[in-house]
Amino acid sequence: MSSSLAKESRPAFAGLGGLSPEKLFGELPTPCYILDEAMLRRNGEILAGVAERTGCRILLAQKAFSNYDLYSVLSPYLDGTEASGLYEARLGAEEMPGKEVHVFCAAYQENEFDELLRYAGHIVFNSPRQLERFGPLAKKAGKSIGLRINPECSTQEGHAIYDPCAPGSRLGTTRAQWDAGMSPELIELLDGLHFHTLCEQDSDALEITLDVVKERFGDILPQMKWLNFGGGHHITKSGYDIPRLEWCIRLAQERWDLQIYLEPGEACALNAGYLAAHVLDVLQNDGTYIAILDTSAACHMPDVLEMPYRPPLYGTKEPGELPCTVRLGGPTCLAGDVIGDYSFAAPLREGDLLLFGDMAIYTMCKNNTFNGMALPSIFVLRDGRELQSLKRFEYMDFRHRLGR
Specify whether the CB–CB gap between 125 and 134 falls below 8 A.
yes
Residues 315-337 have pLDDT tens digits of: 999 999 999 999 999 999 999 99
Q: For the full predicted model, state whether its pTM sits above 0.85.
A: yes
Cβ-count burial 198-217 (b if 16+ within 10 Å, e if not): bbbbbbebbbbbbebbbebb
Residues 357-382 have pLDDT tens digits of: 999 999 999 999 999 999 999 999 99
Angle between helices 110-119 and 128-140 in degrees, nearest 10: 50
| pLDDT for the residue numbered 161 | 86
Count CB neighbours of 7 within 10 A.
11
Residues 190-230 have pLDDT tens digits of: 999 999 999 999 999 999 999 999 999 999 999 999 999 99
The rounded radius of gyration (Å) of the Cα atoms in the chain is: 22
Strands 338-344 and 80-83: unpaired
